[in-house]
Structure 1
Amino acid sequence: MMSSRHPEPGIEVESTEELDALLAQGISPRRLRLQDLDLTGYTGLDSRTDLDELVVLGGRLSPSLDAHLRAHGAIVFPDDPDATPVRPYRAHLYTAEELYAGLVDGYAETTDALAYDWYQNSQRHPDVFSALLQAIHDDSISDALAEFVDGHAVVGVMGGHALQRGTAAYAVAARLGFHLAEHGFLVVTGGGPGAMEAANLGAAAYGADQLDAALAIVAEVPSFVPDIGAWADAGMRAKAVLRPVSGQPVPRSLGIPTWFYGHEPPNVFAQGIAKYFSNAIREDWLLAHAAAGVVVLPGAAGTVQEIFQFATRAYYASKTPPPLVIVDSGHWRDTLPVWPLIQALAAGRAMADRVTLVDSVEDAVAYLT
């Protein structure tokens, strides 16, 4: 029997089927963490009294089950749909359809826009309950993100948010995402517009014909300014042509955006969207999960920050860091002279052989493969 100093680990439960299976195995309810489950019609706990320390994280309970759980020592963390437009204890990443629910009535009525408004209000009028819900939400997203990337070779793609659809540079970024996904990588970006969207779009395409068709559709609405709704709608129409020829789709495209930059809407092409309230946590996870490498396209201040966040991790790494591929020597030598400083930092370190500067996305893919 384990001592109280080293209790048995908790088990996260994300479906009622999983809950039934664990109870049938004789797992003690005190080890279970029921995460955002709809238990309004569930009866598997009604006759049990050994519920001391069972943890219920949000979800939906019938009044009778709520009373029964509390009466027998369960720890119930209530969900409060009136306090926030998103569910803080969620067990899965977002989808574009979820974030853009309500788009028919305009972007301002979508889940994404309402969450941004709530976040902004919490910044103007700090409230400990709102801060707690945001922290719980972001921890739930981190957990779901780890599950989503498990078993995949993840490559991060960084680049500017201002890159417009219909441009040659946008098509280049999309081609990068496509070729990385075709080589078996899961392509992760910051989940926003511009180069991030292009890479997610390319990764979600299951053939060159699909890629060309989607690029033609999104070009009808080049930017999310001034109409996010029209921009998102064009994205949804383009997304409809990005389908696997057969079988279940394997994750190829992941976005990690943030409501901290809520004025930049999430793109619809990521098959999983890990949207955070905390930008610091979001940026850390974006780099931490890109274990197969990072490709950096031309960008400005935000992209420069991401380069040096990666460089700092690589500089102090205790083992060989993932590769960093910087694309467009003219941009990164002359326009924003980042490359000379990266070289100076890398000299004599383990990262020295893991950073390179190339002039095409084909060279970037070749370096990583």
Structure 2
Amino acid sequence: MYHAHVPTMEIETLEAWDTNIATATSITGWVMQSVDLGSRLTDLERVDPRGALFLGCVLPDDTVDDLRDRGALVFPQLPALPFNAYRPLLYRPADLYDALLGGEQYARTSDARIYAWATSMPDPTPLHATLAMSLHDHAISDALDELCADLDARRTVGIMGGHAVPRGSDAYVGAARLASRLSLAGYTVMTGGGPGAMEAANLGAHLAGQYAVLSHAIDTLSATPTYAGNETMWAATALEIRGSTRATGRSIGVPTWYYGHEPTNVFPMQIAKYFSNALREDTLLQRCRGGLIYLPGAAGTVQEVFQAATSNYYSPDPEQVFPMIFVGARHWTTELPVWPLIEALGSGRTMGERLLLVDDVDEAADYLIERG
């Protein structure tokens, strides 16, 4: 039997509820996500809730029973989790580094506690834990969809590179300069959200066009060149810089607790952090329709190369084939000879027309900016 599509309205804040409920007689098709509706019981009694979906909302038990009896679907909050499985918004640095901002050690932050929870699971992971992580990642994807709906996909570019690049190194400075130029030219920069080249790119986008401020920030950060064994100072120094500077560009970080030993960097505008690395990789690469720039990296970066190459190779629409730019000819032809294989895959295809191998980050930036 055919059922007509019911338009969906997502309610993620009490303010959104109040704005939309005033004249409503039915909330069929509405999705309420992590909203405390305990003070809006009169509204709930007045409207028809058939087909409405409540995800992790705060409601009295008798109201939950009443809503279910009248045809609503109510999914309760999941207990004993260090995260909200129905999180309605992307993360901000203060959400992940809450304890650090309060003067405590990195191990007490939400970022570290969630990673500790995830790695404490036995093998195979219990059903309740996989369900919680899947619900969380679905919620993050939904929040990222909402953010990206207001962005031009053709002006969103990914910068990929090694997590082990030390602060203050030439590679770090180059990644920051690259992102600064692209962000100043109107691009939204996306990275894997971790340390190294990813942090440099998010920092460069954060301080787009502020080259003197960027240089000073890198000098300050270089006093703690790596997070390894010093996560608290590594993150605290970055939080001080973020808090004392003005953002002039836009970037998004997409990290994962799968690599939770690598702390999330604090410079993205917003952070879409996932449990599933496979979902995170696909989400990151598919949103960078303006192109992907590969700085020197190792296994993780190579994985991102071939995942994107597969999408480009099999794309049925030439307009959906995005540029893939490799920075560092020696790295990509000799140290990790990815380029010859990628070039061979692209031969005679639209993909091949959008491959570029350069030695300098400014050449990569010039290519995308001139391409528009």
Aligned residue identity for 2:97: Y
Partner of 1:303: 301
1:235 CA displacement: 0.9
Partner of 1:336: 336
Partner of 1:159: 161
Matched, 1:100 2:97: yes
1:227 CA displacement: 1.3
Alignment of 1:95-134 (within 5 A): 95-103=92-100, 104-124=103-123, 126-134=125-133
1:28 CA displacement: 2.7
Q: 1:49-106: CA deviations, max 9, x gaps?
A: 52223211113224564454344332211112x4211101111100111011112321
How far apart are the structure 1 equivalents of 2:9 and 2:242? Answer: 36
Structure 1 pair 89–27 and aligned structure 2 pair: CA distance change class (3 A): farther
Task: Judge which range, 15-24 or 186-195, deviates more.
Answer: 15-24
How far apart are the structure 2 equivalents of 1:296 and 1:242? Answer: 28
Q: 1:203-255: CA deviations, max 9, x gaps?
A: 011411221222122111110011111111011012123314xxxx6x61110
Alignment of 1:65-214 (within 5 A): 65-80=63-78, 82-103=79-100, 104-124=103-123, 126-150=125-149, 151-152=151-152, 153-206=155-208, 207-214=210-217
1:271 CA displacement: 1.1
Aligned residue identity for 1:117: A
Q: 1:165-224: CA deviations, max 9, x gaps?
A: 021211111111111110111100000000001000100114112212221221111100
Partner of 1:228: 231
Identity of aligned residues (%): 43
State which of 216, 219, 224 in structure 2 corresponds to 1:216: 219
Aligned residue identity for 1:357: L
Are the equivalent residues in 2 in contact too, given 1:190–1:256 (CA < 8 A)? Answer: yes
How far apart are the structure 1 equivalents of 2:48 and 2:229? Answer: 57
Structure 1 unpaired stretches of 5+ = none
1:349 CA displacement: 1.1
Partner of 2:39: 41
Are the equivalent residues in 2 in contact too, given 1:34–1:56 (CA < 8 A)? Answer: yes
State which of 278, 288, 291 in structure 2 corresponds to 1:290: 288
TM-score by length of 1: 0.93
Are the equivalent residues in 1 in contact too, given 2:191–2:254 (CA < 8 A)? Answer: yes
Task: Judge which range, 303-312 or 7-16, deviates more.
Answer: 7-16
Partner of 1:280: 278
Structure 1 pair 56–355 and aligned structure 2 pair: CA distance change class (3 A): same
Are the equivalent residues in 1 in contact too, given 2:296–2:328 (CA < 8 A)? Answer: yes
1:146 CA displacement: 1.4
Are the equivalent residues in 2 in contact too, given 1:15–1:37 (CA < 8 A)? Answer: yes
How far apart are the structure 2 equivalents of 1:61 and 1:101? Answer: 27
Task: Judge which range, 168-177 or 208-217, deviates more.
Answer: 208-217
How far apart are the structure 1 equivalents of 2:122 and 2:349? Answer: 41
How far apart are the structure 2 equivalents of 1:241 and 1:288? Answer: 33
Aligned residue identity for 2:161: G
Structure 1 pair 54–340 and aligned structure 2 pair: CA distance change class (3 A): same
How far apart are the structure 2 equivalents of 1:27 and 1:4? Answer: 25
Are the equivalent residues in 2 in contact too, given 1:160–1:303 (CA < 8 A)? Answer: yes
Task: Judge which range, 297-306 or 63-72, deviates more.
Answer: 63-72
Partner of 1:350: 350
Aligned residue identity for 2:70: H
Q: 1:315-363: CA deviations, max 9, x gaps?
A: 1111220111110111111111111111100001110111100111111
How far apart are the structure 2 equivalents of 1:203 and 1:7? Answer: 41
How far apart are the structure 1 equivalents of 2:287 and 2:238? Answer: 26
Structure 2 unpaired stretches of 5+ = none
1:105 match: secondary structure: coil
How far apart are the structure 2 equivalents of 1:306 and 1:138? Answer: 20
Aligned residue identity for 1:95: R
How far apart are the structure 2 equivalents of 1:293 and 1:96? Answer: 26
Partner of 1:10: 8
Are the equivalent residues in 2 in contact too, given 1:13–1:34 (CA < 8 A)? Answer: yes
Aligned residue identity for 1:339: W
How far apart are the structure 1 equivalents of 2:136 and 2:238? Answer: 26
How far apart are the structure 2 equivalents of 1:44 and 1:234? Answer: 48
State which of 242, 247, 254 in structure 2 corresponds to 1:256: 254
Are the equivalent residues in 1 in contact too, given 2:25–2:46 (CA < 8 A)? Answer: no
Task: Judge which range, 55-64 or 318-327, deviates more.
Answer: 55-64
Are the equivalent residues in 1 in contact too, given 2:173–2:218 (CA < 8 A)? Answer: yes
How far apart are the structure 2 equivalents of 1:124 and 1:67? Answer: 36
Q: 1:250-277: CA deviations, max 9, x gaps?
A: x611100001111111001111100000
The number of residue pairs the alignment matches comes to 361
Partner of 2:325: 325
2:268 match: secondary structure: coil
State which of 239, 243, 250 in structure 2 corresponds to 1:240: 243
Structure 1 pair 272–281 and aligned structure 2 pair: CA distance change class (3 A): same
2:156 match: secondary structure: strand
Q: 1:267-309: CA deviations, max 9, x gaps?
A: 0111110000000000001100001100010011111111111
CA RMSD of aligned residues (A): 1.8
